[in-house]
Structure 1
Amino acid sequence: MENSSDEESGISDSEIEEYAEKPYQALRTGNYKVWSLKGNLRCPFCAGKKKQEYALKDLHQHASGVAKGASHRSAKQKATHLALAKFLEVDLGFKPIQTSQPAEAEPQPNESKEKEIFCWPWMGIVVNILEDAKTAKQLADSGSLVKFFSKYRPLGVEVFNNEQEQTANAVVQFEKDMTGYKNLLNFEKSFQVVCHSKEEWIANKGSLGSNIYGWVACADDYHSEGKIGEYLRKNTELKALSDIFQQGKQACETIVNLANEIDLQNQNMVEMESMVNEKAMSLSRMVEEKEELQQIFYAEIQKMQQMARDHVGKILQEREKMMHELDAKRKELDRRTRELSKCEVITVRERQKLEKEKQQNDERNKSLYMASMEQQKADENVLRLVEKQKREQEEALKKILQLEKELDAKQKLQLEIEELKGKLEITKHLGNDDDAAVQKKLKMLTEELNEKIEKMNSLEDLNQVLMVKQRQSNDELQPARKELITGLSGILQSNRTNIGVKRMGEINPKAFETECKERFTGDEVQIKASEESTLWQEKLTDPAWHPFKITEIDGKTKEVIDEQDENLKRLKEKWGAEVYETVAAALLEINEYNPSGRYPVNELWNFKEGRKATVKEVVSYVFKNLRAKRKR
């Protein structure tokens, strides 16, 4: 429901009654609803309040109280509640009990009225309309008469001029509801009070003077001759008052039932549209996350390919360098052999020595040749392994691309299924069981939905197979990672290397040592630093101390250090920011790697980049060190 009054600018207290006319008309036309879906009365201008169910008396009391206004009430609130009180009194027929004067009774038909036949819709008759002597203005036109009788709220006035007598008669039209009936009775009573009713008009037929007479149109007026009778026979019908009241009551009940049913259907439609929109937004978020993961994956693939190319280039360069060194040594041995063969052997010992050196040179030459052959074979094996790794990476890339295509197709199918479900539900609620076209469309949508669901199930099975294969690959890497951590703990447990084993959750005592050097001297530096680092390491292992808080970063909840924790605040005040950052880093590590046990654990670490090292990086680094040791 649109609330057009919310868009209006502020009003002053002097404009309340004028401004109240707009919300009053909106209440009459149904833009503001005082009936809830359960059939209870509610205040349409206090939708956010807890109390939403009122009796008619209580709702009128609420509206009147706000309209009279307290100091904190705005002029707009007073105006809207004044319109609500007026609507309850005028349109719903509620009459508040007043202490100073008796409440005006509802118009109740007496026995004579019930038996009397009226023209329906309600009509009033005005005769002997002459020029107004005071203003010298002719009243015999519709606009003037509507203004003249405005307090009775006529729908319109039909004027019939009598040129011979220079007078005019008129038929005043009223609304069909109880409000119109009440206004009609007040219209007739105004003439009866001044003795200008129908009886006086008949009695004073010869001496009417300049007075106008009026009454309610009944059966004798309907059958009368002249323009008024013709107009009434053409535009009205004769009905008893009891029949009119019964018909109005049935019509009101029908309208209320239809309005409730429409409100219920509209609410169901809104709920279904909300569900469809929610599903569409969820799928859109999934697509965005998939695209982000895809970009990260492509970046990692490119990085791995570049690393593989660099590794192969380094191997080829080392092979070429070794080949040059072997050729140089072979040439040197040949030169020395030629020199030895040319030298004259003076003594047997020298000759034997020369023979022995020749044999040693031959053996060394043979060993160098065998080493060169072995190196060549090793290089060929490395090239084959590189090619094999490249093929495996290409196959893995193809599988991952296939998986992404299947995921895209699955997500597209899910979106289509949700849209079809939404269309199907809307068609079910809007359609009629007897409407053949709607049934045919419903059947087509159901068949299309079943086909999409079967296709999505087949894609789901394929996706599960690919996910199982990927999970098996990850499971195979975990034991290898644990073996590397166990075997390399004593070899690479140092942050002086690029790749090594790091104790996650262990406080680095260097920060305490640096701070203690500025405060203490001699052996007291190491003793105090050791005491403080040990003390805070024990606090880290205490499960009762959990200085973390949950916060939302980039739309995701994350656990971060609570800087308002008393222990951390005292630490920062006593030892400074550097020690605080060291303890906070150890807290984050132990909360990530071992939150249940609360003790430090070993992890393969890339000290150069400050992150967890991959199995491939560790193996590459170990083999590189072994080759360096072999060269030395």
Structure 2
Amino acid sequence: MVVASPAVAAPPSAGSASRVTATSTAISLPRAHPPLLSHPGTTRPGQALPPGPTSPEKHVRRPAGAGRAEQNKITIHKSVARNKPKGQGGQRQRKPSSPLSLSRDLKRRRGGRRGGARSGDPSPPAALDGSAWYIAHRRRGSSGRHHPRPPRPLRCAPSRRSDQSMAHGRQTWSAMECSSDESSELSETDIDDYAEKSYLDLKSGKLVARLASDRFRCPFCPGKKKQDYRYNELLQHAVGVGASNRAAKVKANHQALAKLLKEDHADAAGTLPSRQALALSNPPKPVKDQEVFVWPWMGILTNVPVEQTQGGGAILMKQLADFKPLRYTAVYGSNGYTGYGIVLFTKDWIGFKNALAFQNFFKSQRLGKMDWKETKRHGKYVFGWLAKEEDYKSDDPVGVFLSANGDLKTVSDLEQEMSSKTDNLIANLAQQITAKSKYLQELECKCNQMNLSLQRAMEERDLLHKRYNEEMRNMESATREHTQRVFQETDKLRKQLVEKESYIQRRSWQLNELVAQTDMERRKLEEEREKNADENDSLNMARIEQQKADECALKLLEKHKKEKEAAFNKILQLERQVDEKQKLELDIEQLKGKLEVVKHMEGEGVDVKKRSEELTAELNERIEQMEDLEALNQTLVIKERMTNDEIQDAKKELITNY
């Protein structure tokens, strides 16, 4: 069997050919020559021979006197569609036209066709479809002149208004881009005002966002590679950029675009893909609206040689490739192969169009169902037709196969079923969009709450850090003042000792001048001298002890300073208590030093003893206060450790819970 590229015909109804060829959104007919299905070496009376292999693009009618041997040499001829790209054949592939050049291309093609048409060429009548007209005026004989091809379906080109609107959108954007470069960046508080201004520009038509019923573009991203969006894709793009960390002006523009899509173009949220929507809105109509077909669409082939059914009918599938079949199945009966085969098409209106083209092709070749029934001598031709109610209810193996693998349905039933499925799909998509929008709003609320919590935590941290610094400055100033006071008291005591020492020396000099007095006086002087020597020794010892006490106090101050530097990161209350402890220790050391001084000055009378007792009592009181403070510090340390342990346990529990 030989199959060439078929010319797909529309349903055989009056005026249907003109309707199909004039509307690009309806069923588009492939521009190719009608094939001739036959076995090699056979012809029918009154039918022209197929073109030979030496003319791949032009069909030349052979002379009427060609012999039988020349007819047997006829092989498969594959006509090449004029606009069909070819990857490895060396032909030039056409690049896809841009939207702006489609209208110019269409005008150029129309002008070329008008200029190249001959006055003698016939035009197809309205009652014939494309393939029937082409067969009727296929050749004029052996003169070599050709009739023109059947009229091609119009290509869909954008209108001049859409081109102007797109160009206007690009010009407007370029102007906005230049102005945005010159102007300063927006602040966060002006985003809403600028977004409202952009929204008004979009709504008034200064910026174009909607190209068609289901196609959109982003007027604020002209440099982006993708310029054709669906509604949900553009809405997701606008919402994502509007909520990102981009520049304030970019965020405002995309927020305005999202608002426009939600409020003014919400009707496009449930639109279907263009191919499916066109197929649903313009399904191919059979001759009768109530005509019953086998669903899914199936074509019946008969008189098929058994050798062409091998390998799943790969040869047949290749020859019928222009009808886009899904599968070929040979029909077997109780006695083996029956000569019938079933061609399965897709379960949509595109498959129905291909199935009708399949039937019309065989009918135009006089190889349809009626020809099969009326012709007694079938020869080696393959006949084909579209499976209908009669084939479904027959008792032969074909009817058994059709009843086992399909159902009977009318076009109106399928339209209602697909319409209900489409409505359900739109409802489901709308519910999904609503749910996702709600989920997005919840995520935005959570994000805002997290941002507020984080901002509040940062403010609290800054406040605590500020308070800590103030407390540290206060403690340092208090420590400095206390150290200065201690040094001042030490200097005062040293001056007092120096004054007493000078007084004793003067007294000794006076005693030395009275040496020439009487013996009694000498003895008294000796006694006084000894006494002064003892007092001198006591004073020296007291001075030495005072120096030791000063050194101990200096060491203690250095120690306290190191302890304070190491304890800066502790709690402020502990630092105050440590400071009080240090003060008590300094007071204790000073009291000890004073007590030692007083002990060495015991010879001066009752006042010294009373002073010594007062210093001892004060020393004991300070020691008791220090012990109480140490006990309190220990208690606070234990409580702090317990509190830290509880905090750690709480942190571990929070970590395990989350």
TM-score range, shorter chain: 0.3 to 0.5
Looking at secondary structure, tell me which structure has more strand per residue: 1
Q: Which has the higher contact order (CA 8 A, sep 6+)?
A: 2
| Alignment TM-score, normalising by the size of structure 2 | 0.37
| Alignment TM-score, normalising by the size of structure 1 | 0.39
Which has the greater radius of gyration?
Answer: 2
